[in-house]
Amino acid sequence: MKPQFLIAAPHSGAGKTTITLALLRALQRSGRRVQPFKCGPDYLDPQLHTIAAGQASINLDAWMMSETHLQELYQRYTSDAAISITEGVMGLFDGAHKMEGSSAALAALLRIPVILVVDARAMAYSAAALLYGYKHFFRDITLAGVIFNFVDAPSHYRILQEAAADVGVPVLGYLPERPDIRIPSRHLGLHTSAETDYDAIIDAAADHLSGHIDLELLLQQTLRPVSAAAPTQAVSTGRLKIAVAQDEAFHFIYPENITALKQLGDITYFSPLTAGALPNADLLYLPGGYPELHLPQLAGNTGLLQQLRQYKGRILAECGGMMYLGEQITDEKGEAWTMAGLLPVSTTMQPPRLSLGYREVHIGDVVLRGHEFHYSQYIKAPGTTQTDIRVLNSRQETVDSPVFHGPRILAGYMHFYWGDNIRGLSQLLGIDRG
């Protein structure tokens, strides 16, 4: 029996991320090995989880991943952990379509209890009705406790305690508001710049939480059996040489995608911002990130761009990586910067416009699932539409999103997930898996 639970909320903005980070750090400081997870496709929260816990955070996405793969991942990463904490996404029951892919669906699949974070700033005894609904709406999950956030007065907290007691939901504590422990925002997600001292913010959040939350009660309420870990995937002895871009411009990477790539060969990392030469590699992987924030440096690394134009191996590129392979990227001020020119597409940040959602791409008989999240827009060159490629959203509606597939390149705005579909990815890239 080990504590394991999912942090959820009725809606976004209730404080899930701050409380998750504070719990990870507070429990990690007590000498326990804490394994973080993130429900959904987000890249930014897991980076902060990793800082807080000292363990890589793993995405668990019930829309992009098969149930078998999800269960295997969870078992593998929880087997050596003393405590496992999963941060939910949006509201507890918000999914791609109704509850599909929601935090509640994940909690039910993995049979882990839910801790609900309630923004109580403008709420008193009405919390009873809210908690009653969340406790009884979906009987396949267990509401193991509630944390009331943004509560400044003990008298206010007493009313909330009475509300929770009347519907039989354990109260784990409350948190007064502390503006200094908020994570700075960038785009729709979290600030990832080295300028922010995340350790200091997370330490302060952990101190704050430890003074108001009954951690031992929380751990007792969330004890659950832990299944034995499934065997790990076999690692290749190195048929291919695979080079992965990783720096401030390109860092949106699902850890399990890298685990799957290791089946194909040996992996090295390089920085398109600073590298003087491309690595000797059979496959280049250019993930997403924030290339639009580093355009002078990317465009100024002309030697690397020239080598990329002459590169004869296979290339896999997602979102920011696809933008880097295009003709130009135009920044928010309207200045155009020359990129690699390997794809007949240009992208622009003028004006920024959000594209967000799950995606499913059909190329021949191969289907890959993933997620799209960007503020740039694309400009197609005439005659570049590939009619053999279909991109659908989670409701199986056609989406106008560029995907390029050729003998040696697979690229698109999608962040692909192939952690459980390395066979399909290999087929699209023309890689013989032996």
User: Which CATH number does the domain housing residue 166 bear?
Assistant: 3.40.50.300
CATH of the domain at 255: 3.40.50.880
End of a domain among 190, 224, 258? Answer: 224
What is the model's pLDDT at position 150? 97
Domain count for the chain, please give it.
2
| Residues 148 and 274 reside in one and the same domain | no
| Residues 420 and 316 reside in one and the same domain | yes
| Residues 397 and 349 reside in one and the same domain | yes
End of a domain among 168, 189, 224? Answer: 224
| Residues 148 and 74 reside in one and the same domain | yes
φ/ψ of 424, rounded to 5, equals -65, -40
**Dist CA 135 CA 117 (whole Å):** 13
Q: How far apart are the first and last CA of the chain?
A: 41
| Residues 247 and 210 reside in one and the same domain | no
Specify burial of residue 366 (Cβ count, 10 A radius: 0-12, 13-18, 19+).
Answer: middle
End of a domain among 224, 253, 274? Answer: 224
- CB burial string 172-194: b at 16+ within 10 A, e below: bbbbeeeeebebeeebeebebee
Residue 66 lies in a domain: yes
| Residues 214 and 278 reside in one and the same domain | no
Residue 235 lies in a domain: no
**Under 8 Å between Cβ of 60 and 38:** yes
Catalytic residue among 181, 319, 361, 399: 319
What domain range includes position 70? 2-224
Residue 283 lies in a domain: yes
pLDDT in tens, 126-182: 999 999 999 999 999 999 999 999 999 999 999 999 999 999 999 999 999 999 998
What is the model's pLDDT at position 321? 98
Residue 234 lies in a domain: no
Residue 230 lies in a domain: no
Residue 358 lies in a domain: yes
| Residues 41 and 74 reside in one and the same domain | yes
Residue 233 lies in a domain: no
Enter the tokens of residue 352. Answer: 């920024």
Question: Catalytic site residue 39?
Answer: no
Please report, as a single letter, which amino acid is at residue 334.
Answer: G
| Residues 304 and 164 reside in one and the same domain | no
**Dist CA 196 CA 262 (whole Å):** 32
What is the model's pLDDT at position 189? 44
Q: How far is CA 279 from CA 146, 241, 297, 346, in A?
A: 50, 9, 19, 26
Q: Which helix (H) or strand (E) holds 423?
A: helix 422-429
| Residues 249 and 218 reside in one and the same domain | no
pTM: 0.92
Each of the 434 residues of the chain gets a pLDDT tens digit; together they read: 999 999 999 999 999 999 999 999 999 999 999 999 999 999 999 999 999 999 999 999 999 999 999 999 999 999 999 999 999 999 999 999 999 999 999 999 999 999 999 999 999 999 999 999 999 999 999 999 999 999 999 999 999 999 999 999 999 999 999 999 988 765 544 454 556 789 999 999 999 999 999 999 999 999 998 777 666 555 555 589 999 999 999 999 999 999 999 999 999 999 999 999 999 999 999 999 999 999 999 999 999 999 999 999 999 999 999 999 999 999 999 999 999 999 999 999 998 888 899 999 999 999 999 999 999 999 876 555 567 899 999 999 999 899 999 989 999 999 999 999 999 999 999 998 76
| Residues 116 and 247 reside in one and the same domain | no
What is the model's pLDDT at position 379? 86
Residue 289 lies in a domain: yes
pLDDT in tens, 263-289: 999 999 999 999 999 999 999 999 999
| Residues 286 and 359 reside in one and the same domain | yes
| Residues 92 and 179 reside in one and the same domain | yes
